[in-house]
Amino acid sequence: MNAIISASELEGALAGENPPVLLDVRWQLSVAKAAGEPPFDGRAEYEAGHIPGAVYVDLDRELAGPPGERGRHPLPDVAQFGAAMRRAGVSAATPVVVYDGGQGWAAARAWWMLRWTGHPDVRVLDGGLPSWQEQLSVEVPTPAEGDFEPVPAPADLLDADDAAALARAGVLLDARAGERYRGEVEPIDRIGGHIPGAVSAPTTENVGADGRFLPAEELRARFKALGAGDGTEVGVYCGSGVSGAHEVLALAVAGVPAALYVGSWSEWSSDPSRPVAVGPDPQ
């Protein structure tokens, strides 16, 4: 099953016999506080207009736990996540489609969380809300309680030690911007640089100017050139496990399975005992 769905395909699915549950996960990494501006409010954006029937999901509160030693967006309590998904109407036998404001990162985090915990049919709206050309709604639905019970898959998840080992034995992709990977700038975390052995693979290069994923063949070629493919074990990390989920999604589109280090650089860099590499060389 393809991990993404086009707006036209979604329109057809919503009119079908088993329409998907729609989750709106609008979110963005905000540096507004530093600029003295109010932070991005995903719920307000949702209430101003969303795809009819969509339920809002809060990334910071429902797809992540409180920030701390495990990173800025650590895994939430699995039971609490399951309860949030059931409140949103998610059931095991019902397909789910997730979208955000167009960047794709937040939707990918929801996709990854549901896939990691065992939901068999989850897709991301390619291009997000901007790709939806039909009328929006301001009506906030009250879905029937779902029955989804999350069962995590350990093989899809990396911790810091796993990531360090994979950078040596397989391929560990760093989904952040190249300048953060190289350690030239670090606007958020304690120190810049990357996990020794990790390969720079900015997730922004997985999409075109319209925010939609590149064709699967192009993505497959890109990841193969980075060493990911042909049976190689692949892992991904980013700043806090959000844009990294988008890279895992791009890899899925390309047909390459990959695990996610959710703690990512925000966890790794918080521990002074862990090594840090700088510059363009993985080592």
Active site amino acids: 238
In the three-class reduction of DSSP (H, G, I as helix; E, B as strand; rest coil), residue 252 is classed as helix
Is residue 167 within 8 A of residue 196, CB to CB? The reply is yes
CA-wise closest residue to 201 among 217, 169, 233, 178: 178
Is residue 269 within 8 A of residue 191, CB to CB? The reply is yes
User: What does the DSSP 8-state code read for residue 242?
Assistant: S
At CA 110, angle to CA 104 and CA 113, rounded to 5?
A: 135
Instruction: Give the H/E segment covering residue 260.
Output: strand 259-261
At CA 186, angle to CA 185 and CA 189, rounded to 5?
A: 170
